[in-house]
A and B are shown apart, each in its own frame.
Chain A
């Protein structure tokens, strides 16, 4: 758009102010969450320096220098202050072995992000599709079957679906067909490596999204404006695919947006089962190696993802529902 009308300019200003306000509101959440995590990590038993050197005897002078360098002698809150001011400058700190945390996390974060995004796409496609199908056949056999399967899908923990699918789709399928359709471990097979773990990770969410889609679409199909669209002589395709869908998107987008954070944060079990070098596994390892900066860095990053995802959802929300205005 080359020239804006005054109304458009106004909209843009309002939107800008809204985003800034939302980001400001997110600061206490970020501070609070990181402080909590920092406190927990601070309370982790064991001395980080000692664990770094393992069983070796240490030169007390060197230990003192290292402790000083990492502010380990300062009170908790001061240490936190050093940390969080770094975060606001885009610096997640350095590990006790002098590697920037961001360097360690970057690759792992990419793996988890790939996993979560693949899961999110599967969730959106399968969940929304099944939900639509069920809502349009409400009360019939297909609907009941879909509902029953969502119940089962919700109930089977990732732990179980992970191993069962690994066995059935990964191993048995390969044995019977001779082709490795779904790789079962690692990320050496590119995007195919993510298919099975992403499905496992998305399982519960697929079921919830199916239910949410079904419920909200069924409710929307009973709305007065749908009756109006029918009375206007609109073909059923258009009534469902345009009038109903556009309204149904509102809760679905909200759910999907909020779920990105959940998927990333909940990926640790899936990563463990499928040996994916993601942040869940890294966090796990760092906890045991007492690499506190890495632990805090990972959680801080996930909190940021959560905050951003929510902001995006809010913005999309206002785009999808004209009744909502940025105040």
Chain B
């Protein structure tokens, strides 16, 4: 079921003209109706993903990164959520225009997702075998016996020791890392073309985190699957991602190939994030913390959402929202003063 013959692509999105993105989010707007008013959770997000590529979406809670992912999956609760504008193209087709039936043909089968807390994301009353096997039984009409066999294969593939014996165990009988492996097994069951991993390691111990990231990287190497890795942790993405989109206040404030971004961020928010990571070469220096609070999505400022916290702020930042300036061929930054930020970063 995997893709036809897509030419091999360079590590990070050779999204040059001509090649078709696997998945493209275009100018997506998502709102939530609440009693206090309309919460604008996502305000014009665009990003694209090519086969074999890993896109890291970075941002703090409330930045809209998970909401965007849920919109792609079609698992937003609507209402209260509402997609007010935008398109989500999957291999050229706008998912938002599809019927619920057609949509569920894509969901789980061609675009799969894993969640942050595997303990709550797995159904506590069914065995892991039946939860994995369900993918084959429901989507492919496989017999129970065959589905179990496939479930064991998958559990082996995500390196769960003694898969055969553990088939009939329940989620609570596994450790956190093993549970996340089961989530992953479920997600990759039908060889999806896109895998969305929403903070897959946040709930785990540091050592287990590394193992899970390694597993994801390996699974990706084995297939041409594109991956969207959602995280708030810059440290996690460096080794895995090809490109990064940084979100703030429901917008993308910077997108760039991972190395460019690490070398020289073009947005003050990205810069702040990078400086708040403890690094060996800056030992002894005080860790930087971004001052202030994240924006109130109920009452977004007219100008740049980051302005109240921004050390580069000028008068026009408060009144004029910066567009995503084109900084390089595959790079954008939503800051009026991205040149200064970029220069400052080099220094």
Direct contact of A and B (CB under 8 A): yes
Q: How far is the CA of A243 from the CA of B106 in the complex (A)?
A: 20
Mark A224-236 against chain B: 1 for CB-CB distance below 8 A, else 0. 1101111111110
Closest to B138 in A: A234
Most buried by A among B75, B125, B186: B125
When C-beta atoms are compared, the residue in chain B nearest to A230 turns out to be: B75
Structural contact, A227 and B115, CB atoms closer than 8 A: yes
Which residues from chain A contact B107 at a C-beta distance below 8 Å?
A: 230-233
Closest partner residue, chain A, to B120 (CB atom): A224
Chain B: which residue is nearest A139 at the CB level?
B79
A322 and B123 within 8 A (CB)? no
Contact in complex: B186, A323 (CB < 8 Å): no
Which of B108, B121, B139 lies in contact with A225, CB distance below 8 A? B121
Residues of B within 8 A of A230 (CB): 75, 107
B125 touches A322 (CB 8 A): yes
Number of A-B contacts (CB under 8 A): 69
Q: What does the 1/0 interface line of A216-229 toward B look like (CB < 8 Å)?
A: 00000001110111
Q: Nearest B residue to A231 by beta-carbon distance? A: B113
Q: How many angstroms between the C-alpha atoms of A251 and B312 in the bound complex?
A: 56
CB-CB under 8 A from B135, the residues of chain A are: 232
Interface residue B25 (Cβ < 8 Å from any Cβ of A): no
The reply to whether B121 and A233 form a contact with Cβ atoms under 8 Å apart is: no
Of chain A, the residue at the smallest CB distance from B122 is: A225
- Chain B 101-141 residues near chain A, CB threshold 8 A: 104-109, 112-113, 115, 117, 120-126, 134-135, 138-139
Asked if A321 is at the interface (CB within 8 A of a chain B CB), the reply is yes
A235 to chain B: which residues have CB within 8 Å?
A: 104, 138
Q: Which residue of chain A has its CB nearest to the CB of B170?
A: A322
A229–B73 Cα gap in the complex (Å)?
12
Is residue A320 contacting chain B, with contact meaning CB distance below 8 A? Answer: yes
Interface status of B166 (Cβ within 8 A of chain A): no
Query: Within the assembled complex, what's the spacing in Å between the Cα atoms of A323 and B124?
Result: 7
Bound Cα distance A228, B115 (Å) = 8
Contact B138 A321 (CB under 8 A): no
Please tell me if B150 contacts chain A, counting CB pairs below 8 Å: no
A238 touches B138 (CB 8 A): yes
Q: Which residue of B lies closest to A321 (CB)?
A: B125
B172 on interface, CB distance cutoff 8 Å: yes
- Complexed CA–CA distance, A324 and B137 (Å): 28
Write out the residue numbers on chain B whose beta carbons fall within 8 Å of the beta carbon of A224: 115, 117, 120-121
**A161 contacts the other chain (Cβ, under 8 Å)?**
no
Q: How far is the CA of A208 from the CA of B166 in the complex (A)?
A: 40
User: Is A247 part of the binding interface, using a Cβ–Cβ cutoff of 8 Å?
Assistant: yes
- Name A229-255 residues within 8 Å CB distance of B: 229-235, 238, 243, 246-247, 250
A233 to B104, CA, bound (A): 5
Rounded to whole angstroms, the CA-CA distance of A232 and B136 in the bound complex is 11
**CB interface residues, A 277-327, toward B, < 8 Å:** 320-323
The docked-state distance in angstroms from the alpha carbon of A322 to that of B126 is: 8
Residues A231 and B134 in contact, CB atoms below 8 Å apart: no
- The contact of A243 among B112, B115, B123, B172, by CB within 8 Å, is B123
Q: Could you tell me how many residues of chain B have their Cβ less than 8 Å away from some Cβ of chain A?
A: 27
Interface core residue of B112, B126, B172, B186 (most chain A CB under 10 Å): B126
Most buried by A among B117, B121, B135: B121
Taken together as a complex, chains A and B put the C-alpha atoms of A233 and B73 apart, in Å, by 9
Who on chain A is nearest to B101 by CB? Answer: A235
Q: Which residues of A contact B172 (CB under 8 A)?
A: 322-323
List the B side residues contacting A246 at CB < 8 Å.
123, 125-126
Q: Given that A225-B124, A247-B124 are contacting pairs, would A233 and B115 also be in contact in the complex, using a CB cutoff of 8 Å?
A: no
Q: How far is the CA of A92 from the CA of B182 in the complex (A)?
A: 57
Is there an interface contact between B108 and A233, defined as CB atoms closer than 8 Å?
A: yes
Report how far A229 CA is from B117 CA in the complex, Å: 14
* Distance A322 CA – B173 CA, assembled complex (angstroms): 10
When each residue 210-223 of chain B gets 1 if its CB lies under 8 Å from chain A and 0 otherwise, what string results? Answer: 00000000000000
Give the shortest distance, in Å, between A97 (CB) and chain B (any CB).
54
Smallest beta-carbon distance A149→chain B, Å: 25
Instruction: State whether A234 touches B134 (Cβ < 8 A).
Output: yes
Query: Does A231 contact B125, Cβ atoms closer than 8 Å?
Result: no
Task: Please tell me which one of the listed residues B106, B108, B170 contacts residue A232 in the complex, with CB atoms under 8 A apart.
Answer: B108
Give Cα A229 to B126, complex, Å: 12
CA distance A224 to B116 in the complex (A): 10
Q: For B115, what are the chain A residues with a Cβ–Cβ distance below 8 Å?
A: 224, 227-228, 231
Is the beta-carbon distance between B123 and A247 smaller than 8 angstroms? yes
Task: Bits for B65-77, please: 1 = Cβ < 8 Å to A, else 0.
Answer: 0000000010100
For residue B314, give the distance in angstroms from its CB to the closest CB of chain A. Answer: 43
Residues of the A chain whose Cβ atoms lie less than 8 Å from the Cβ of B139:
233
| Nearest residue, chain A, Cβ from B192 | A233
By a CB distance below 8 angstroms, the chain B residues around A322 are 124-125, 170, 172
A-contact bits for B173-199, CB 8 A (1 contact / 0 none):
000000000010010000000000000
In the complex, chain A residues whose CB is within 8 Å of the CB of B138: 232-235, 238
A323 to B123, CA, bound (A): 11
CA distance A231 to B192 in the complex (A): 12
Asked whether, in the complex, the Cβ of B125 is within 8 Å of the Cβ of A320, the reply is yes
Contact (Cβ within 8 A) A228 B170: no
Inter-chain contact B121/A323, CB cutoff 8 Å: no
Task: Indicate with 1 or 0, residue by residue over B154-181, a CB within 8 angstroms of chain A CB atoms.
Answer: 0000000000000000101000000000
Known A247-B124, A322-B172: A234·B75 in contact at CB below 8 Å: no
Nearest Cβ distance between residue A93 and chain B, in whole angstroms? 46
- Contact call A321/B120, Cβ cutoff below 8 A: no
Partner of A233, one of B109, B117, B124, B183: B109
Q: Are A227 and B121 in contact (CB-based, < 8 A)?
A: yes
Closest CB in chain A relative to B173 CB, distance in Å: 8
Between A and B, 7 residue pairs with Cβ closer than 8 Å are A224-B115, A224-B117, A229-B123, A232-B112, A233-B138, A234-B134, A321-B124
- In the complex, the 7 A-B pairs of residues with the closest C-beta atoms, listed nearest first: A233-B108, A224-B120, A233-B107, A232-B108, A225-B123, A322-B170, A224-B121
**Chain A interface (Cβ < 8 Å from any Cβ of B):** 223-225, 227-235, 238, 243, 246-247, 250, 320-323
Given A224-B120, A231-B75, 16 more pairs with CB closer than 8 A:
A223-B120, A224-B117, A225-B122, A227-B121, A228-B123, A231-B73, A231-B112, A232-B134, A232-B135, A233-B108, A234-B108, A234-B134, A238-B138, A250-B125, A321-B125, A323-B124
